[in-house]
Amino acid sequence: MTGSHVPDGARAGAGRYGRDLFEPQDPHEAGRIDAGALVYDPVTTRRLRALGAGPGWRCLEVGAGTGTVARWLLEEAGAGEVVALDRDTGALAALESPRLRVLTADLTDDSLRPGGFDLVHARFVLMHLPERRRLVSRLAGWLNPGGWLVLGDAVELPDVLDTSSAYRRTMDAMWQALRTTIGTDTSSVPAYPRFLREEGLRNVAAELVCPPLVAGSPLARFWSETWRRMRPALEATGHVDAEAVDEALAYLDSPRLAELGPGMAMAWGQRH
């Protein structure tokens, strides 16, 4: 079994992010998302800055989560307007600006028409939505001429020679459980540059970032929180029992921790 590429057949269920896993009402959910944002915001914002995000831009932050990127666009980049879209916008309550519009909506709702944007950004969102290819078209269709679509999602870099460690088995169980419960799939993330070209975008490029996984770091905290949230689903895969998950959690918090990945791939392209 190798991470997200597990050939485990079609999804068993028709669950959705936020309803069947990672419910936003859970008191630990915002902290989990914030831990991931702490790791990846510097990467994301460096790219958005390089693409020119700044004054006058109308931006759409898709799956805005706790709003860290929306806040950066407003407060650091000085964007003209930021629309922060999420199926649950409860975690955006602290974000206040006359240039912010909070849009509570499901991205898969076909009646959604948020307008035209100079930047559409989605991080760790499409990987969780089975309709991802159709959604790339949709997001590209919301770009103004000259506007940028920027997609960031996880890429697993599994040590395929390790078939037995508690860490590997827990990580693999996580990808399998995500896939069978809510349809998460990272196998098409390397195809994002091609998807953007297929949408007629130009100046398409991509990069892969794999921040160090060190005990006590926000990234280690993100994975341990994720596994804790998913514990019943992990054990239901049959690949790990409670003891293995405990061992994997202890390893994440130990100085012995030494792993590469998962990382984040970002791909971007510009409307003519």
Pick one of 6, 21, 37, 60: the residue that binds ligand SAM (CB under 6 A).
37
Position of tokens 């160090």?
A: 212
How far apart CA 197 and CA 194 sit, in angstroms, is: 5
DSSP states along 73-91: HHHTS--SEEEEEES--GG
- Bridge-based pairing state of the strands 143-155 and 202-209: unpaired
Q: How far is the CB of 22 from ligand SAM (least distance, A)?
A: 7
Binding mask of the shown chain, residues 106 to 145, with x at each position contacting ligand SAM by CB under 6 A: xxx--------------xxx--xx----------------
Q: Is 86 in the site for ligand SAM (CB under 6 A)?
A: yes
Helix (H/G/I), strand (E/B), else coil: 153? strand
The nearer residue to ligand SAM, 121 or 239, going by C-beta atoms, is 121
The nearer residue to ligand SAM, 87 or 133, going by C-beta atoms, is 87
Residues contacting residue 113 through CB under 8 Å, at least 6 positions apart: none
Pick one of 1, 47, 53, 63: the residue that binds ligand SAM (CB under 6 A).
63
Pick one of 21, 60, 65, 245: the residue that binds ligand SAM (CB under 6 A).
65
Segments in the chain forming alpha helices (H): 29-50, 68-75, 132-141, 166-182, 192-198, 218-236, 242-252
Distance between start and end Cα atoms, the chain = 42
- Asked if 225 and 41 count as a contact pair (C-beta separation under 8 A), the reply is no
Q: How far is the CB of 141 from ligand SAM (least distance, A)?
A: 16
Q: How far is the CB of 4 from ligand SAM (least distance, A)?
A: 15
**Residues near ligand SAM (CB under 6 A), total:** 18
Pick one of 88, 118, 153, 185: the residue that binds ligand SAM (CB under 6 A).
88
Q: How far is the CB of 223 from ligand SAM (least distance, A)?
A: 13
The nearer residue to ligand SAM, 88 or 156, going by C-beta atoms, is 88
Work out the number of other CB atoms within 10 angstroms of the CB of residue 3: 22
Residues contacting residue 111 through CB under 8 Å, at least 6 positions apart: none
Q: Is 229 in the site for ligand SAM (CB under 6 A)?
A: no
The nearer residue to ligand SAM, 133 or 159, going by C-beta atoms, is 133
How far apart CA 160 and CA 247 sit, in angstroms, is: 20
**Nearest Cα residue to 63 out of 138, 3, 120, 21:** 120
The nearer residue to ligand SAM, 184 or 251, going by C-beta atoms, is 184
Q: How far is the CB of 145 from ligand SAM (least distance, A)?
A: 26
Return the structure tokens found at 96. Answer: 């206040």
Q: Is 87 in the site for ligand SAM (CB under 6 A)?
A: yes
Among 7-15, 29-37, 161-169, 206-214, the segment contacting ligand SAM (CB under 6 A): 29-37
Q: Is 36 in the site for ligand SAM (CB under 6 A)?
A: yes
Q: Which residues bind ligand SAM (CB under 6 A)?
A: 17-18, 33, 36-37, 63, 65, 86-88, 106-108, 123-125, 128-129
